[in-house]
Amino acid sequence: MAMTAELGADFDMARDLAAVSIRSLDDVRAAAEALRDIALRLGNLKVAVVDNIASKQPMVDAEGNVLAADVYGWTGDDERWWADTRLALSSPLPRACRYESEPFWVNAQGFRTRQHNRYLDQIGLENFEKRALTRGAVVIPIHLPFGQIGVATYNRMDRGDDLSAEYEAYADYFGLLTHRFIAGYVKTHRTRQWLPGDCQLTKREVECLRWASIGKTDKEISLILARSHATVRFHIQNAGEKLDAVNRSQTIFKAAQLGYLGAAA
């Protein structure tokens, strides 16, 4: 492939994607080790991976061993980020991943992205190393179906804080590998189906829900759309039945998880 040729002999996309692919729980350990080894081989980088920043559960292999400790080597007293359930709320790294979907790199001096993201400008970086548990990292946000966000950070083994060269050389490649790894992990661990399959909302249902999602009442929506109050209520209730939702709030939430509502620019 063109990207492989541009990156050089150390890169073999087909080989590396196959190595980090997960099709069953038994594949998790080997795939995690492959991701670790690729990061070391290419940039002498140490990996940290989280499949869901909203979950308190660390990623584990088929035997229940924590990957962060057993595979990636985060075992020091000041390195056990995977045991800190508050990190997703306090660290600027997962917080940034809620506002950015492309790879970026960050240290105490700021976020660096391919395109400027004004939301990242508003995230404070004071006491960066203490809060992020790294001096600098290439960060790969992974946005998955149903609003789940995973993240991988690639950190210099010498704990340096300038990753500009690593970012330019490897960020996009790491993005492909990280997505393949985390997506496979999530699929093999997902046991519950909480959203209906192939749910199709109508244009009018989506229109009503979009207004409802920004706080408009049924009466206000009826005035905006020039429809009766009863018609608006019918569309929202009908969408709720399709989404198997128990109330208006859950209807809006599930519609958002399926990407029907979008976001303001």
For residues 134 and 124, give the distance between their C-alpha atoms in angstroms, rounded to a whole number.
Answer: 15
Q: pLDDT class for 262, splitting at 50, 70, 90?
A: confident
pLDDT at 73 over 90: yes
Give the number of other CB atoms < 10 A from CB of residue 203: 8
Quote the distance between the C-alpha of residue 241 and its chain's center.
29
State how far the alpha carbon of 137 is from the alpha carbons of 12, 45, 153, 196, in Å.
23, 9, 6, 38
Q: What is the mean pLDDT of residues 103-115?
A: 97
pTM for this predicted structure: 0.86
Both structure tokens of 241: 């039945």
CB 151 within 8 A of CB 141: yes
Start and end residues for every CATH 1.10.10.10 domain found in the chain: 203-257
Q: Which amino acid is at 169?
A: A
Task: Over range 222-227, report the average pLDDT.
Answer: 95
Half-sphere exposure of 21 (CA within 13 A, CB side): 8
Evaluate if residue 1 carries a pLDDT over 80: no
CATH 3.30.450.40 in the chain is located at 2-189
- pLDDT (average), residues 92-120: 97
Q: Kindly tell me if the per-residue pLDDT of 87 is higher than 90.
A: no
CATH number of 203-257: 1.10.10.10
Reported as a single tens digit per residue, the pLDDT across 142-185 is 999 888 999 999 999 998 999 999 999 999 999 999 999 999 99
Mean pLDDT of all residues in the chain? 92
Q: What is the pLDDT of residues 199-211, one digit of tens each?
A: 899 999 999 999 9
CATH of 2-189, one of 3.90.870.40, 3.40.50.300, 1.10.287.470, 3.30.450.40: 3.30.450.40
DSSP the chain: -HHHHHH-TT--HHHHHHHT--SSGGGHHHHHHHHHHHHHHHH-EEEEEES-TT-SPPPB-TT--BHHHHTT---STTT-GGG-TTHHHH-HHHHHHTT--S-EEEETTEEEESS--TTGGGS--TTHHHHHSSSEEEEEEEE-GGG-EEEEEEEETT--S--HHHHHHHHHHHHHHHHHHHHHHHHHH-----S-TT----HHHHHHHHHHHTT--HHHHHHHHT--HHHHHHHHHHHHHHTT-SSHHHHHHHHHHTTSS----
User: Is the per-residue pLDDT at 3 higher than 80?
Assistant: no
Q: How confident is the model at residue 241 (pLDDT cuts 50, 70, 90)?
A: very high
